[in-house]
Amino acid sequence: MRDDSRGAPASTYRLQVRASFDLDAAAAVTGYLHDLGVDWAYLSPILQAAAGSDHGYDVVDPTRVDADRGGAAGLSRFVAAARDAGLGILVDIVPNHQGVADPAENPWWSDVLTHGRRSAHAAAFDIDWEHGAERVVLPPRIHHPDYHPTPIPPEMYVPERY
């Protein structure tokens, strides 16, 4: 980690990074932010999110910068522009937010559904294995226009009753 003598932010400006306003677009406004008196740019989630995600909180791969948001190269360009403008950088990450709607998009979740407690990624999820008799217990399926049924193998799914 780089030593940064900036201290705590005095003022931040949140940039909602998405496909339509990617990291290169964010880099293009760093001078403007500096002129406004902002000292830190605050980025919305930038890790690889579910396909089509506008908000980025449904992370499917915490090891990659989202390609639709500019990828690792876009992040490097943003960092360079922010530093040139004298800005610090904050990134919104929420480790407990995972995109699990489509296991095929999230290799860690898919591995947990396939291998259960023995998955190399089981510790990344808060799963009460005893409650579900070694299976994943999920809340009842909801009916929402943006909800798409999850193709979870039936042997791994125990619907919770409330």
H helices of the chain, in order, are 23-28, 30-36, 71-84, 107-115
Looking at residue 148, its pLDDT comes to 52
Burial 86-111 (b: 16+ CB within 10 A, else e): ebbbeebeeeebbbbbbbebbebbbb
Looking at residue 76, its pLDDT comes to 98
Mean pLDDT of residues grouped by 10 in the chain (162 residues)? Answer: 69 96 98 96 95 90 94 98 97 80 84 90 88 77 51 51 38
pTM attached to this predicted model: 0.74
Looking at residue 105, its pLDDT comes to 86
Burial 138-155 (b: 16+ CB within 10 A, else e): eeeeeeeeeeeeeebeee
Looking at residue 162, its pLDDT comes to 34
Looking at residue 1, its pLDDT comes to 42
pLDDT in tens, 131-155: 888 888 776 655 445 555 555 555 5
- Cβ neighbors of 113 (< 8 A, separation 6 or more) are 103, 136, 152, 153, 156
Domain ranges for the chain, please list them: 12-91, 103-159
CATH topology of domain 12-91: Transcription Regulator spoIIAA (3.30.750)
pLDDT above 90 coverage of the chain, percent: 47
